[in-house]
Amino acid sequence: MDFVNVEFNEGIACITIDNQKKLNALNAQILDELESIFLDMAKKTDIRAVMITGAGEKSFAAGADISQFPSLTPEEAFAFAKRGQAVFSLIESSPKPVIAAVNGFALGGGCELALACHLRYASENAMFGQPEVKLGVIAGYGGTQRLPRLIGSGRALDLLLSGRMVTATEAKQMGLVNDVFSPSELLPKIEEIIQVILAQGSQAQAFTLKAVYEGAGRPIAQGLEVEAAAFRDAFKTEDRVEGATAFLEHRAPEFKNR
Ligand code: COA
């Protein structure tokens, strides 16, 4: 991999996007590399949580690589958006929790990448925004859809129509990030959060993610059907026997993740 590094350590995959000369702007090869990592990860049963961050101290990802924009025809632009959307949807559909460690600029496609993750934690120096209107274009990697779903259409349109950047603190107030830490604390705090995640049943987490994302955007009656089906499927696992038994025996569960 030229631009995306992945390290596996005790159940966690740490993915780092490294295109520092361009503040980790997302080019076509980065999308290919992210896709290949996530496809490969589906086969790694020992990996139970994923973290994505940007290399360096300045940027998570400063958007799609703008140098590609001037020559794009409208049809190529459509394909460009579809490609980014497909990779980010693959990330969102991961059955393993995916956590964005936003260590600096998360702009345009970088913000959209964070939105495709299940949880977002930011360092105090992080800046968020969807500045595409400043370039005369719009968010195309899911921002017009995921941002309003996450923070509401009023707040989303504030960002999408103005192109303005917000600090990590404001992003937290908006509900765009789960929490904010000092730059030196960002990764240790996320490590703690991941350890809590790893202590739970991973099958149950996968069913939770499925219910939340498959139910989103549907009428509530349909969403509740999705939830009931996922609840039923959780009862097909060994973990659910262990979870209830451990509770009744006043001990910590030892999940086998199956
Ligand atoms: N695509 C391509 N190159 C990018 C980029 C992007 N999205 N974001 C930053 N870069 C490049 C810059 O062109 C510059 O390259 P250069 O040194 O060859 O000129 C380098 O990264 C450093 O960026 P620079 O603008 O000098 O840093 P800064 O600290 O002054 O500003 C930003 C940082 C993030 C505010 C600014 O780079 C920016 O606005 N980037 C574009 C963000 C954007 O619009 N993203 C959405 C794209 S759809």
pLDDT tens, position by position, 181-225? 999 999 999 999 999 999 999 999 999 999 999 999 899 999 999
User: Which numbered atom of ligand 1 lies nearest the CA of 137?
Assistant: 48
Note if 112 is an active site residue. yes
Which residues is 64 bridged to in the sheet? Answer: 26
Which residues is 49 bridged to in the sheet? Answer: 12
Q: Confidence class of residue 36 from pLDDT cuts 50, 70 and 90? A: very high
Tell me the CA distances in angstroms from 123 to 43, 54, 112, 184, 189, one per residue in order.
31, 12, 17, 8, 10
Q: Quick check: 69 pLDDT over 90?
A: yes
Query: Phi/psi of residue 57, each to 5°?
Result: -105, 0
Residue 197, Cβ neighbours under 10 Å: how many?
19
What token pair was written down for 36?
Answer: 């290949």
Q: CA 124, CA 208: separation in Å to the nearest integer?
A: 30
At 235-257, the pLDDT tens digits run 999 999 999 999 999 999 999 98
Q: Whose CA is nearest to atom 45 of ligand 1?
A: 63
Starting from the edge strand earliest in sequence, which strands make up the sheet with 12-17, in order?
Answer: 4-9, 12-17, 49-54, 98-102, 119-123, 179-181
What token pair was written down for 162?
Answer: 């103005």
Distance 3 CA to ligand 1 centre (A): 17
At 10-21, the pLDDT tens digits run 999 999 999 999
pLDDT (0 to 100) of residue 257: 87
What token pair was written down for 207?
Answer: 């069913």
Distance 23 CA to ligand 1 centre (A): 6
Q: What angle do CA 175, 93, 232 make, to 5 degrees?
A: 100
Distance 193 CA to ligand 1 centre (A): 31
DSSP 142-180: SHHHHHHHHH-HHHHHHHHHH--EEEHHHHHHHTSSSEE
Please identify which residue in the block is written with the tokens 């990592």: 37
Q: Return the closest-CA partner of residue 105 out of 82, 128, 86, 71.
A: 128
User: Which numbered atom of ligand 1 lies nearest the CA of 140?
Assistant: 48
127: left (phi over 0), alpha (psi -120 to 50) or beta: beta
Domains by residue range for the chain, with CATH: 4-198 (3.90.226.10), 202-248 (1.10.12)
pLDDT (0 to 100) of residue 229: 98
Q: Is 226 exposed, middle or buried (0-12, 13-18, 19+ CB in 10 A)?
A: middle
Q: Whose CA is nearest to atom 1 of ligand 1?
A: 65
pLDDT (0 to 100) of residue 217: 85
At 96-150, the pLDDT tens digits run 999 999 999 999 999 999 999 999 999 999 999 999 999 999 999 999 999 999 9
Distance 70 CA to ligand 1 centre (A): 15
pLDDT (0 to 100) of residue 56: 97
Pocket of ligand 1 (CB under 6 A): 22-23, 25, 62-67, 105, 107-109, 131-132, 135
User: Which numbered atom of ligand 1 lies nearest the CA of 59?
Assistant: 34
Query: Which runs of E-coded beta strand occur in 74-200?
Result: 98-102, 105-107, 119-123, 127-129, 165-167, 179-181
Q: What angle do CA 217, 223, 225 make, to 5 degrees?
A: 155
Q: Whose CA is nearest to atom 10 of ligand 1?
A: 22
pLDDT (0 to 100) of residue 124: 98
Q: Whose CA is nearest to atom 4 of ligand 1?
A: 22
Q: CA 213, CA 118: separation in Å to the nearest integer?
A: 10
